[in-house]
């Protein structure tokens, strides 16, 4: 569960909470906020006005199709939040802080900022067509994804009441193929003293007899983070519509020395050589991020092992920890309990401090209960990331049906909170990705969209050996470019590379001048979600840097600084290096789905996900181009582009 800026109570032992919500007048924490009446009146007024707009202009909730339909009218629907009716000081009361368990979504000048005058046409375009999202309201972390009796299950953090964080329950959807989904009723409500302030992130474990259990974090009536056990009410139901919470919950409370709000997100369990089960839970001690390890036989009684699975100083709170094996030999994914000499273990943490997902490869000693990184220089939180863009609170599961490990992640909004309220929904899930060990480099994993997404492809366009000269832009005529799957290869003349002089200058995607900064060997790549005038453009590109000794480093970047003319949108530059081996062409795959762009370099060694909110480059005005801003090289590009059909996402 991603909860920014949580308070710490290091060294304070946890006292057992009452078994009833009615004990001694201990009302749930969410009902004990200062100035409640004033807050409720103001937020109620805003909610009523937003609901009125949503009903008048929004999507039709009676339809199973949640994708944008005909182009809506141009009326401005968001400017009322900047009117005299609700001054900006009132807007700030809508944000949440530490007392509520989460910091404000909007920071800096976006906090209470007057929103851009979005029209319904613009807002409707932002809804995706083949990424999973609820029909309305707020969504964040994926929970306990699994495959059960012919169905893939996605549980997720969900606010059924508004497009902002709060009132968190477990949303639930099922799919036969990870692409087309059917929404189901809420799986677990926040209805017990041990989870009344939120049914937060959890993980599923299958027992040897086929039984399924779920461990999840609950935020109690005292806003303490505890771990709880749940199981299907009817194991014969393949859609797992109803869940029972164990009557002895919570099964784990914060141990001495751990902050009461620094104990969350249990992993899928794995077995020990002795036949016991282990889980790990994220936490911190001062500024050292750690993963605690517990052992159990029945998932009701747990023993805390001495020490930690691993910890890294300076990384802060570890949340949404994940721990799983990858094979060094076979292509298949592995069950979470696999171990041995042909196996590496991935330890991943979502860092609460910087909101990114980091991982490292290492070796797991089952006897000692410890994990050691292969390379401490790129340890968890200071080295590799799953994705160098907008990608957080991820969770994997082992798909026993297709013998693969599948990765999900929460893709948050990067616009203003006011715009989210106008739109009526916030956040997406990434396209599910497979995870494999990169046998060629031996130093990283590869993430790649699941094969099923290719079933949405239609209307292929191919552009072979297109020469893009220095300083030029080449349009690619494919019609509307808002739902695309793009595969591209770029060739650079090796003789030219050798002749170009090296430099002692350093390069960094984030600190650079973006795609407009010209170097001898880059940048070059694609412009997606770009209008005809190029006033709005989203470049995805490579940049090759050559040092004075003749060594090359290749960077993969995504520049959002000119992606939108809206003023209430974060427009960052994302990126990192990408390993390119001798003889390899530069390769790029990009999935464009309205307001989300997911890109993968070198078959998935480096990935970047971004949210894009153009005001002009939408519908038929969204175009795609090749570009080359290098000064000394021409680039030859070969590209395949498919239009993507919409996924079928149905209501209950």
Write the DSSP string, 294-327. Answer: EEESSSSSEEEPSS-SEEETT---EEEEEEEEEE
**Distance from C-alpha of 73 to C-alpha of 80, rounded to nearest angstrom:** 17
pLDDT score at 78 = 67
Q: Containing H/E element for 55?
A: helix 36-57
Residue in 578, 444, 560, 545 with CA at minimum distance from that of residue 510: 560
Q: Containing H/E element for 151?
A: strand 151-159
Cβ atoms of residues 293 and 318 within 8 Å: no
**pLDDT one-digit tens code per residue, 180-189:** 999 999 999 9
Tokens of 396: 């994997």
Q: What is the CA radius of gyration of the chain?
A: 25
Residue 4 has pLDDT above 80, yes or no: no
Catalytic residue among 141, 262, 357, 559: 141
Phi, psi of 11 (to 5 degrees): 85, -5
pLDDT score at 652 = 72
What's the average model confidence in pLDDT over 292-298? 98
Catalytic (active site) residue 141: yes
pLDDT score at 504 = 80
Cβ atoms of residues 497 and 521 within 8 Å: yes
13-27, 125-139, 219-233, 527-541: least confidently modelled range: 13-27
Q: Which residue has the higher pLDDT, 279 or 55?
A: 279
**Distance from C-alpha of 203 to C-alpha of 282, rounded to nearest angstrom:** 13
Cβ atoms of residues 72 and 133 within 8 Å: no
Residue in 494, 499, 488 with CA at minimum distance from that of residue 600: 488
Q: What integer best gives the mean pLDDT of the chain?
A: 87
Residue in 559, 611, 265, 176 with CA at minimum distance from that of residue 430: 611
**Distance from C-alpha of 173 to C-alpha of 241, rounded to nearest angstrom:** 10
Cβ atoms of residues 154 and 429 within 8 Å: yes
**Distance from C-alpha of 158 to C-alpha of 161, rounded to nearest angstrom:** 9
pLDDT score at 108 = 37
Length of the chain measured in residues = 652
Spell out the residues 6+ positions from residue 439 whose beta carbon is closer than 8 angstroms to its own.
Answer: 328
- Name the β-bridge partners of 151: 148
Residue 288 has pLDDT above 70, yes or no: yes
Residue 153 has pLDDT above 80, yes or no: yes
What's the average model confidence in pLDDT over 212-241? 98
Phi, psi of 105 (to 5 degrees): -65, -45
pLDDT score at 505 = 85
pLDDT score at 2 = 65
- Find how far residue 5's CA is from the centre of its chain: 18
Tokens of 451: 């094969």
Angle at 484 between CA 482 and CA 490, to 5 degrees: 120
Residue 522 has pLDDT above 50, yes or no: yes
Tokens of 74: 């141009």
pTM for the full model? Answer: 0.88
**Distance from C-alpha of 81 to C-alpha of 87, rounded to nearest angstrom:** 8
Q: Which residue has the higher pLDDT, 535 or 104?
A: 535
pLDDT score at 90 = 33
**Distance from C-alpha of 448 to C-alpha of 606, rounded to nearest angstrom:** 10
- Is the preceding omega at residue 108 within 30 degrees of 0, hence cis? no
**What is the spatial order of strands in the sheet that 343-351 belongs to?**
318-327, 343-351, 356-365, 370-373
- Find how far residue 496's CA is from the centre of its chain: 39
- pLDDT-based confidence at residue 15 (cuts at 50, 70, 90): very low
* Helix and strand numbers, DSSP H then E, in the chain: 5, 36
**Distance from C-alpha of 618 to C-alpha of 127, rounded to nearest angstrom:** 11
**pLDDT one-digit tens code per residue, 17-65:** 333 333 333 333 332 333 434 334 444 544 444 444 343 333 333 333 3
What's the average model confidence in pLDDT over 270-286? 96
Q: Pairing mode, if any, of strands 356-365 and 596-601?
A: unpaired
Phi/psi region, residue 241 (left: phi>0; alpha: psi -120 to 50; beta: rest), is alpha
DSSP secondary structure letter of residue 522: B
DSSP secondary structure letter of residue 603: G
- Find how far residue 71's CA is from the centre of its chain: 29
CA distances from 621 to 190, 484, 500, 526, 593 (A): 44, 14, 38, 16, 15
Write the burial class of residue 377 (CB in 10 Å: 0-12 exposed, 13-18 middle, 19+ buried): exposed
Q: Containing H/E element for 63?
A: none
What's the average model confidence in pLDDT over 289-296? 98
Angle at 306 between CA 303 and CA 308, to 5 degrees: 105
**Distance from C-alpha of 557 to C-alpha of 412, rounded to nearest angstrom:** 19
Q: What is the 3-state composition of the chain as percent helix, strand, coil, each rounded to the nearest 5?
A: 15, 40, 50
Spell out the residues 6+ positions from residue 563 whose beta carbon is closer than 8 angstroms to its own.
Answer: 529, 536, 537, 538, 569, 571, 610, 612, 613, 614
- Find how far residue 528's CA is from the centre of its chain: 21
What's the average model confidence in pLDDT over 217-237? 97
As a whole-number percent, the residues of the chain with pLDDT over 90 amount to 79
CA distances from 109 to 85, 115, 511, 565 (A): 21, 11, 21, 16
């Amino acid at each position: 569960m991603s909860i920014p800026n949580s308070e710490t109570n290091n060294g304070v032992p946890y006292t057992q909470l009452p078994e009833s919500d009615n004990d001694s007048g201990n009302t749930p924490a969410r009902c004990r906020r200062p100035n409640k009446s004033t807050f409720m009146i103001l937020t109620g007024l805003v909610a009523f006005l937003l609901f009125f707009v949503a009903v008048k202009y929004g999507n039709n909730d009676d339809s199973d199709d949640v994708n944008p339909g005909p182009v809506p009218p141009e009326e401005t629907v968001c400017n009322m939040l900047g009117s005299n009716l609700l001054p900006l000081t009132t807007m700030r009361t809508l944000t949440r802080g530490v007392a509520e368990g989460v910091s404000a979504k909007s920071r800096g000048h976006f906090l209470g900022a007057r929103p851009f005058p979005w029209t319904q046409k613009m807002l409707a375009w932002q809804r995706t067509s083949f990424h999973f999202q609820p029909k309305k309201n707020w969504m964040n972390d994926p929970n306990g994804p699994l495959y059960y009796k012919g169905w893939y299950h996605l549980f997720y953090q969900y606010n059924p009441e508004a497009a902002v964080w709060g009132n968190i329950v477990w949303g639930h959807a099922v799919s036969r193929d990870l692409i087309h989904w059917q929404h189901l009723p809420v799986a677990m409500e926040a209805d017990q003293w041990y989870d009344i302030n939120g049914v937060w992130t959890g993980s599923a474990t299958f027992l040897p007899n086929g039984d399924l259990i779920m461990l999840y974090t609950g935020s109690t009536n005292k806003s303490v983070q505890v771990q709880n056990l749940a199981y299907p009410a009817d194991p014969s139901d393949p859609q797992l519509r109803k869940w029972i919470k164990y009557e002895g919950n919570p099964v784990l409370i914060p141990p001495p020395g751990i902050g009461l709000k620094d104990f969350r997100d249990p992993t899928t369990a794995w077995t020990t050589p002795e036949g016991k089960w282990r889980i790990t839970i994220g936490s911190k001690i001062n500024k050292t991020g750690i993963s605690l390890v517990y052992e159990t036989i029945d998932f009701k009684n747990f023993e805390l092992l001495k020490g930690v699975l691993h910890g890294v100083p300076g990384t802060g709170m570890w949340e949404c920890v994940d721990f799983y094996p990858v094979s060094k030999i076979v292509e298949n994914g592995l069950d979470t309990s696999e171990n041995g000499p042909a196996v590496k273990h991935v330890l991943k943490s979502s860092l609460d401090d910087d909101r990114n997902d980091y991982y490292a490869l290492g070796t797991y000693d089952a006897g000692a209960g410890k994990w050691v990184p292969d390379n401490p220089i790129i340890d968890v939180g200071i080295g590799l990331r799953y994705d160098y863009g907008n990608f957080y609170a991820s969770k994997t599961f082992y798909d026993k049906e297709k013998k693969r490990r599948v990765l999900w992640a929460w893709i948050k909004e990067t616009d203003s909170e006011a715009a989210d309220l106008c739109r009526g929904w916030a956040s997406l899930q990434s396209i599910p990705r497979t995870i494999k060990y990169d046998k060629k480099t031996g130093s990283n994993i590869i993430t790649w969209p699941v094969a099923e997404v290719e079933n949405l492809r239609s209307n292929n366009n191919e552009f072979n050996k297109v020469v893009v000269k220095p300083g030029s832009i080449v349009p690619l005529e494919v019609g509307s470019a808002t739902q695309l799957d793009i595969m591209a290869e770029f060739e650079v003349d090796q003789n030219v590379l050798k002749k170009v002089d090296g430099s002692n200058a350093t390069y960094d995607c984030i600190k650079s001048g973006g795609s407009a900064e010209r170097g001898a060997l880059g940048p070059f790549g694609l412009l997606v979600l770009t209008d005809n005038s190029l006033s709005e453009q989203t470049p995805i590109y490579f940049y090759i840097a050559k040092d004075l000794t003749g060594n090359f480093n290749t960077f993969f970047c995504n520049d959002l600084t000119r992606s939108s003319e809206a003023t209430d949108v974060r427009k960052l530059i994302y990126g990192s290096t990408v390993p390119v081996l001798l003889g390899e062409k530069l390769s790029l795959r990009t999935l464009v789905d309205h307001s989300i762009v997911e890109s993968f370099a070198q078959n998935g060694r480096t990935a970047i996900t971004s949210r894009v909110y153009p005001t002009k480059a939408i519908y038929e005005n969204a175009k795609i181009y090749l570009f080359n801003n290098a000064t000394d090289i021409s680039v030859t590009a070969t590209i395949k582009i498919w239009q993507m059909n919409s996924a079928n996402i149905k209501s209950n």
